């Protein structure tokens, strides 16, 4: 059973990678669950789209009590997860998610900023629950130059 789950997770990650990338730079950022979302895991893949950056998220879950359909809000903050600064970019034109065959959720966003700018600055990507689900931070990941996957 564990082999089947691992294989399915690998297939989902590969399909997200293939669907969101163009020839160019790709960066993988691990997402750390907040205290309110302990035990969950997540990852976001950033894709260089020229003057924009594509974000493909996969998360294993959200806190109990989150309303369905699941809506998650995503932001890029100046600073880090340990010392977040102001919101630099909100990526909330479309906030719905898609349940995956493996336990988890997938969703994609884009930001109107070149990936090189994100990698050269100090930024963190934050995933929050919807206001009707408590508006709490559920994941955070620091965007770092060293996370390159290509």
CB neighbourhood size of 70 (10 A): 19
Strand partners, 129: 72
Q: Cα–Cα distance between 99 and 53 in angstroms, integer?
A: 23
CATH code, domain with 79: 2.60.40.200
Q: Which domain holds residue 114?
A: 2-147
pLDDT tens-place string over residues 131-141: 989 999 999 99
Domain total in the chain = 1
Convert the pLDDT of each residue in 67-81 to its tens digit.
888 899 999 999 999
Whether the model clears a pTM of 0.85, i.e. scores above it, the answer is no
């Amino acid at each position: 059973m564990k082999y089947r789950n691992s294989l399915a997770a690998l297939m989902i990650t590969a399909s997200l990678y293939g669907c969101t990338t163009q020839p160019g730079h790709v960066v993988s950022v691990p997402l750390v669950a907040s205290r309110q979302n302990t035990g969950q895991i997540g990852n976001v893949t950033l894709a260089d789209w020229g003057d924009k950056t594509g974000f493909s998220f996969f998360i294993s879950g959200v806190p109990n009590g989150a309303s369905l359909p699941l809506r998650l809000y995503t932001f890029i903050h100046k600073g880090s997860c340990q010392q977040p600064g102001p919101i630099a970019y909100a990526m909330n034109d479309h906030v719905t998610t898609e349940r995956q065959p493996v336990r988890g959720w997938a969703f994609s966003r884009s930001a109107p900023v070149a990936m090189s700018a994100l990698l050269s600055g100090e930024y963190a990507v934050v995933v929050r629950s919807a206001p009707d689900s408590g508006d709490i931070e559920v994941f955070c990941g620091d965007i770092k130059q060293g996370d390159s996957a290509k």
